[in-house]
Structure 1
Amino acid sequence: MNSSLLQHDLDLYLRHYNNKHAIHSLPVILFLAILVLVGFAGNSLVCYVYLVKFKESSLRCYILALATFDLATCVVCIPVEIADIRYNYTFGQYTLCKMLRLLATFSVIASVTILLAIAVDRYKRICCPFDKQTTPLMAKVTITVCSLTTFIVSLPAAAVNGSRSVSTDDIRINGSGCTVTDDYNNTPYPLIYNGGQLILFMSCILSLSVLYGLIWRRVARQQKRMNNVTESDLTIERKVQHKATPTSIAKSLEDAHSPSAKGEPNMSLDKVESNNSESTCIMPTLESFKNDNTCPLEATPPLGSQINRRLSTFGRRKSFSTCTSSHCDKGSQKTTRMLFLITLVFVLSFLPHLGLMVTRAVNKNVFENLHGVGFVAYNVFLRSYFINSVSNPILYSFCSVRFRQKLTQLWESVAMTRNT
């Protein structure tokens, strides 16, 4: 009887500390709750749109993997983290504590490995376009291998973290917090664990920086080359407008069909085509000759139809080969820019957490006596990596026109269904 009363009093005492800590941490809880709502809605839409509306590709597989990890974080990890904050003095005694640290570590490392795989895929497509590219099957295999490897690497998080004594005003009573366990508190293992995370993180960041640096260098060179080609096209266009008038082209063809020029048939127009084989999209200039009302090419029907046929074939060939290529390059650059921003946000969101963890591993008591704004800021920055799980859908919405279009179509279909 006395034992049960003591246990009841102990529970009441620790509950009082839980409530007190929850009131002080209310801004942190609200911040995480907002992340849960926004992240759940955003990542659910990403999973639906890319799974149903987009064709299968390696990039689609990678984005779905990222969205799945982020959705799991918003559905499981962040709510459990809120429970940890709410019951700060008793949460460490539950097995859920170890699961939380394991899942949170798994989510972060899995995300960075997928981002690294995406960077490799972008590098191969832009810098090595003639090599064998990543297929959807290869992307799925990569995701599976990354997930299994990440799970193995994350296992130390479950071993190092667990129940740790939290002091109260009564020296005889201690709470149970969810952090580095008492068994490892005075050992070098937490420092080794956090140091290993730092090395892994910095290695991934260095690899990502090198890959995207090479990608942007290649993109800059392509852009410079396109600018040079454009300047060359303008020069050729001016020359064509000045010299290669429809009358001169018709005269060249007449000369080519004359008996005196049997040895060099159609040389003049062929020479024009040969000289312009290096140019890009000069179709508008040549088309203007064909559609010019002041100088019709149909003066002599057989000759005019021959010119029209030559001009149309030449224009279609040049416009299709160069303009389409330019359009694809721009689309690839936009996709690469979006993926680079996703990687950058991940790095920036993870840095505050990693910095605090390393600092705490070096000096265990540096954050023990924080109050007010400092206490709130510390707890927000300690969980800053959760921002990454919410930001990706927002970046897709801003950077991907196709994603916005699919969302608009989805919204319109839902609105029509509700109206009917």
Structure 2
Amino acid sequence: MDNVSFHEDHDLHLHRHDNEFALQVLAAILFLVVLMLTGLLGNTLVVYVYTFKFKHSTTRCYILALAIFDLVSCAISIPVEIADMRFNYTFGQYGFCKIMRVFVTFSSMSSGAVLVAVAVDRYKKICRPFRGQTTPFVAKVAIIICSLSSFLLSLPAAILYGSRTVTTDDVRVNGSDCSTADEYIKTPYPLIYNGVQFFVFISSTLSLIVLYSLIWRQVARQRSFRRSVRAEQNHGRTLRIVVTHGNQTSETNNTSDDFLSSSTEGDANKAANDESSSRNIVTAVELTINPHKEEGCGRSSVTTLNSNKLSVGSQSKIRHNRTQSTSVSKSSQRPRGQKTTFMLFLITLVFVLSFLPHLGLMATRAVNKHVFDHLQGAAMTAYNLFLRSYFINSASNPIIYSFCNEHFRRELNHLWSKLKCRA
């Protein structure tokens, strides 16, 4: 009878601590609830719109993958994290604590790996448009590789995480938190695992910084070149594009407006494919100044530009079925390609920034295991909020799509109009 009474008192004591802790971190819980609802709705819309309303492309494949990973976070990881905070003193005793940590790590690392693949794809499209481009099939293979590698890196979480003893104001009663398991707290394995995660994050971040720096440098060159050509257009200049095919050479004269209409995304793939099939190589781009009739000038000056330095800004679309001819694309495609790059850059930036507070706390806790054990009040709320800061990324992506992608906004408005009509 005494044992039954003690067990009941034990459970009541832990539940009382659960309630007190939940009130302490209520702001963090509510914040995660908002992220969960926003992410569930937003990413569901992203999956629907990009699946049924967008054409098949590498960008579509990557965005769908990111949306699915974010849905996993919002549907599984965030609710379990909320339960962990709500029942902080009893949640560690449940077996799915380990599974939850694997899901959280997997979805986050998969998103980061896909963002690196996205950056490589944008780099190839903008900085290397005449070389082999990523096809939708290759993009799907890259996503599978990213998922498998992230899953393998997440598996140690199932071993290292589990029930961790949490003390209470009664020395006879201890709680159970879902964190680094007791048997591994005094071992070097958590530090090694967190160090590997930190290394993966830093190396991925550095790769993203380098790739997007090269991309924006190339975009800046393109803009500078377009401004210079527009200035030349005002003085009656024309463009002569020289194309070689084997030992034969042909020339195409275009106006400045035609030349400036080259795209950075859609035509990059076509140009690369046409180059591969026809073996055409753009060897030179020359800017020829026409004589001004009113000045009676009989001479013209020629400026030769390096085609490598103007790979995208001065690219011509080389067709296999039209011998040594240069065609142009719609000028409206250039801003669309650059807007897509900017949108993906914002997604990457938010991902990196949302992870920094979490990794900072994890690194600190790995060095000093008990540094956060006695936090109270606002400090406890801030700690639990920043520890889960990476979930911001899961809810923010649909908002970025809405601001940066006009087609996505238009489809959302159309869907909303249909829903209002049915209501």
TM range (shorter): 0.7 to 0.9
Structure 2 counterpart of 1:122 = 122
Task: Check 1:365–1:214 CA distance in 2 against 1; reply closer, same or farther (3 A cut).
Answer: same
Task: Give SS of 1:280's match.
Answer: helix
Displacement of 1:275 in angstroms is 11
Identify the residue that residue 230 of structure 1 maps to in structure 2: 230
User: Within the alignment, does 1:157 sit opposite 2:157 as a pair?
Assistant: yes
Q: In the TM superposition, what whole-angstrom CA distance separates every residue of 1:14-52 from its partner, at most 9, and x where no partner exists?
A: 111111111111111111111111111111110110011
TM-aligned CA deviation for residue 281 of structure 1: 4.5
State which of 363, 369, 373 in structure 2 corresponds to 1:364.
Answer: 369
The amino acid across from 1:348 in the alignment is L
**What residue in structure 1 maps to residue 384 of structure 2?**
379
Once the two structures are TM-superposed, the CA of residue 73 in structure 1 deviates from its matched residue by: 0.6
Higher helix share: 1
State the 1:323 CA deviation: 6.4
Matches of 1:10 and 1:71 in 2, distance apart? 38
Separation in structure 2 between the aligned mates of residue 377 and residue 275 of structure 1, nearest angstrom: 64
Counterpart residue number, 2:397: 392
Deviation at 1:282, TM superposition (A): 9.9
- CA drift of 1:329 comes to 2.2
- 2:14·2:90 contact (CA, 8 Å) conserved in 1? yes
- Write the distance in 2 (CA, Å) between the matches of 1:280 and 1:54: 29
How far is 1:321 from its partner?
Answer: 4.8
Alignment of 1:284-295 (within 5 A): none
- 2-side partners of 1:281 and 1:197: how far apart? 49
Match for residue 279 of structure 1 among 256, 279, 284: 256
What displacement does 1:328 show? 2.1
Q: CA deviation at 1:12?
A: 1.1
Asked if 1:339 corresponds to 2:316, the answer is no
Aligned residue runs from structure 1 range 89-238, under 5 A:
89-236=89-236
TM superposition score normalised by structure 2 = 0.79
**Inter-partner Cα distance in structure 2 for 1:9 and 1:96:** 26
Task: Report the Cα distance in structure 1 between the residues aligned to 2:136 and 2:327, rounded to whole angstroms.
Answer: 27
How far residue 278 of structure 1 moved from its aligned partner, in angstroms, is 5.6
CA displacement at 1:5 relative to structure 2: 2.9
Number of the residue aligned with 1:267: none
Cα distance between partner residues in 2 of 1:168 and 1:282: 73
Per-residue deviation, residues 272-307 of structure 1 (Å, max 9, x unmatched): xx9963633499xxxxxxxxxxxxxxxxxxxxxxxx
1:280–1:323 contact (8 Å) kept in structure 2: no
The CA distance in 2 between the partners of 1:405 and 1:7, in whole Å, is: 60
Indicate the structure with greater strand content: 2
For the residues of structure 2 that align with 1:179 and 1:236, how far apart are their CA atoms? 71
Please give the alpha-carbon distance, in whole angstroms, between the structure 2 residues aligned to 1:105 and 1:275: 55
Contact 1:233–1:282, Cα closer than 8 Å, also in 2: no
Q: Is structure 2 residue 421 aligned with structure 1 residue 416?
A: yes
Partner of 1:65: 65
Match of 1:257 in 2: none
Match of 1:30 in 2: 30
1:197-236 Cα deviation digits (max 9, x unpaired)? 1100000001111111111111111111111111011111
Structure-to-structure mapping, 1:278-357, within 5 angstroms: 279-281=256-258, 321=327, 324=330, 326-357=331-362
Deviations 1:323-375 (Å, cap 9, x if unpaired)? Answer: 62x43222111100000000000000000000000011111222222222211
TM-score w.r.t. length of structure 1: 0.79
Name the CA distance, whole Å, in 2 between partners of 1:48 and 1:115: 21
| Alignment check: 8 A CA contact 2:259 2:328 kept | no
Matched-pair contact (CA < 8 Å) for 1:47–1:67: yes
- Any stretches of 5+ residues in structure 2 without a counterpart? 239-250, 261-325
Find the aligned partners of 2:125 and 2:4 in 1 and give their Cα distance.
68
Partners of 2:385 and 2:193 in 1: how far apart?
22
34 and 277 in structure 1: CA distance in 2 versus 1, 3 angstrom threshold:
closer
Tell me the secondary structure at the aligned position of residue 235 of structure 1. coil
- Percent identity over the alignment is 56
SS at match of 1:175: strand
| Distance in 1 separating the partners of 2:254 and 2:155 | 61
